[in-house]
Structure 1
Amino acid sequence: MIGFNKLSQPERFPITDIDECATNPCKNGASCINGQNKYTCTCAAGWQGTNCDHGMRHL
């Protein structure tokens, strides 16, 4: 048919989540919690920061 464009369905690719904790980003005994495209570190006592690599200062 002239002037007719067939619109096809886009190919669907499975979404694969990478385990961000696999590279051990959390330091100094911290626990790593893997999330969807992110990770969260739960720091051990005396440590802070995104990767628990900053010691806390005691005043």
Structure 2
Amino acid sequence: MGIHIVLSSNYFNFSVFLKQEQANSLLKRQRRANSFFEELKIGSLQRECFEEVCSYEEAREIFQDVKRTMEFWQNYVDANQCDSNPCQNGGTCVDQFQAYVCLCPEEYKGKNCEKGQVLNL
């Protein structure tokens, strides 16, 4: 005892494909800053990675050297979080991947060594 459905191609006249004009209106590539001329220019660090977000491949084209590219890329994707000196009261900052840890003096605690604590002597 089951239900059988028969679909007639004459009754349902539709296609899963769009006409080329319709497809092209949906699939648009976002143009880069200077459109056509952007593709002809030699890579510029300022233009490629600071005015826009760059990929590793774009950085590699700019530096043309694996070692220099890796030095740049590590800071580009994960800057040193200790540069802003987040640790207070003499705490020492340890940079981690997209994070930091403060090593606090004994009399302080908290993420940034901001909380004083009473020491029993």
Given candidates 13, 34, 41, the residue that maps to 2:55 is 13
**TM-score normalised by the chain length of structure 1:** 0.71
From the CA coordinates, give the structure whose radius of gyration is larger.
Answer: 2
Letter of the 1:25 partner, please give it.
Answer: P
* Alignment match, 2:118: 57
Aligned pair count reads 49
Question: Would you tell me which structure has more helix in proportion to its own residues?
Answer: 2
Q: Which aligned segments of 4 or more residues in structure 1 are displaced greater than 6 angstroms?
A: none
**TM-score normalised by the chain length of structure 2:** 0.36
Question: Would you tell me which structure has more strand in proportion to its own residues?
Answer: 1
Gap regions ≥5 residues in structure 1: 4-11
Pair 1:34-2:76 in alignment: no
Gap regions ≥5 residues in structure 2: 1-16, 18-53, 57-72
Alpha-carbon RMSD across the aligned residues, in angstroms, is 2.0
User: Cα offset for 1:58?
Assistant: 3.7
* Alignment match, 1:24: 85
Identical aligned residues as a percent: 31
